[in-house]
Structure 1
Amino acid sequence: MSKRGYHHGNLRQALVDAALQLIEEKGPTGFTLSEAAKQAGVTPAAVYRHFDGREDLIAEAARQGYEIFGDVMQYAYDKGQPSALASFEATGRAYLAFARKYPGHYIAMFESGVSVNRSPELAQASARARGVLEKAANQLSQHIPEGQRPPAAMFSAHIWAMSHGVVELFARNSPGTQSPFPPEDLLETGIGVYLRGLGLIPPDS
């Protein structure tokens, strides 16, 4: 087997890429470091030059995922400007789009059990991604009278939880949880109900 990752000086990333594929195929606890090393074309001993163990490798996959996620969320937010409502709704949809396009990263981030506080770099990447949704929530909440306005962190957490629930239950092919509605429709209508409750969009006629 070719040891292209090692010889090209990019072994660390080759191992992350191997881990992402194995995570997607077997789950975050379904593979060993030896399997990741074999897929990257190196010996198991070579892994320890870059990672302390499997959890450390998964944490790096999660960090890279949060970096991509933050970019996706920021792009969605910017695309919706100057409308606060459009930006907020776009960041919610971006969550679902990210989970579908980057399943290995998504699993490493949200289903591996690795804490976002495992390293300062991981915590920073996670906070940046959450910050985009919170920024969108804060901008939209300015349209609510101050005395009735929920904290932006709570506002964004509600949408994050709703998005995460739709992804986990209906967009990740969980056995026995098929919905008669597309995940995109579930998320859009759920966000609509939430925003109507806050008086941010008018009720259906």
Structure 2
Amino acid sequence: MTKRGYHHGNLRQALVEAALALITEKGPQGFTLSEAAKVAEVTPAAVYRHFAGREDLIAEAARQGYDIFAALMEFAYDDGKPSALAAFEATGRAYLAFARKYPGHYMAMFESGLSMQANPDLALAAQKARDVLERAAARLSDHIPPEKRPPAAMFSAHIWAMSHGVVELFARGPAARSPFPPEDLLEAGIGIYLRGLGLLPPDR
């Protein structure tokens, strides 16, 4: 009987898809290479033709996730339309949408403990996503004199951390954890934070 991985002609991607399914079910540390091979319907030895080990497989799943994530962030930002604030908030909502739609990728990216230094391709893909948020942050602070302007990299990182917190606490678990939708929680948090930095007028 021909193994499915060879039949469809893309064993490498079949293994990534198998890993993503297992990560979604068990978490990044909850499966073995043998299990991934079994899901892909190939022998464990076949895995090593494409990946050096389990971490290498997870890194590829994470890299693909960052590519999807960066594309979604870019689409949400929409070149700063219709306003700098609306575009900035849209990137936060895109973060939540990504975590919901691509849980395996999300966990591979953020919960696997992969070293960016040891995975330069992964680091490059991650930077593309950060660049979108930093560009949105810089645009949002254009109206502030340069000497009073907070570093875009700093407050975009804070918003990233806030988005991550909302995902971990409210967006991937039971809806009963919060009486408010995760999108509303994030938007309110972004507003409070930006007002504190002087990026939004207090009476908005």
Q: TM-score category by the smaller chain?
A: over 0.9
| Partner Cα distance (1:136, 1:14) in 2 | 35
CA 1:169/1:2 → structure 2, altered by over 3 Å: closer, same or farther?
A: farther
Query: What are the equivalent positions in structure 2 for 1:54-133 lying under 5 Å apart?
Result: 54-78=54-78, 80-133=80-133
Which residue is equivalent to 1:201? 200
8 Å Cα contact 1:80/1:90 also seen in 2? no
Count of residues paired in the alignment: 204
SS of 2:177's equivalent in the other structure is: coil
Gapped regions of structure 2 (runs ≥ 5) = none
| Partner Cα distance (1:184, 1:74) in 2 | 18
| Partner Cα distance (1:149, 1:202) in 2 | 15
| Partner Cα distance (1:53, 1:68) in 2 | 23
The answer to which of 63-72 and 193-202 deviates more is 193-202
Gapped regions of structure 1 (runs ≥ 5) = none
8 Å Cα contact 2:3/2:42 also seen in 1? yes
8 Å Cα contact 2:150/2:197 also seen in 1? no
SS of 1:137's equivalent in the other structure is: helix
Query: What are the equivalent positions in structure 2 for 1:1-205 lying under 5 Å apart?
Result: 3-78=3-78, 80-173=80-173, 178-204=177-203
8 Å Cα contact 1:134/1:153 also seen in 2? yes
8 Å Cα contact 1:15/1:36 also seen in 2? yes
| Partner Cα distance (1:202, 1:67) in 2 | 35
Amino acid at match of 1:31: F
| Partner Cα distance (2:166, 2:2) in 1 | 41
| Partner Cα distance (2:191, 2:82) in 1 | 19
Q: CA offset at residue 152 of structure 1?
A: 0.9
The answer to which of 78-87 and 119-128 deviates more is 78-87
Q: CA offset at residue 125 of structure 1?
A: 0.4
Q: With structure 1 as the length reference, what TM-score do the two structures score?
A: 0.93
The Cα offsets for residues 8-54 of structure 1, whole Å up to 9 and x where unpaired, read as: 32000000000000000001111111110011010000000001111
Q: CA offset at residue 82 of structure 1?
A: 4.6
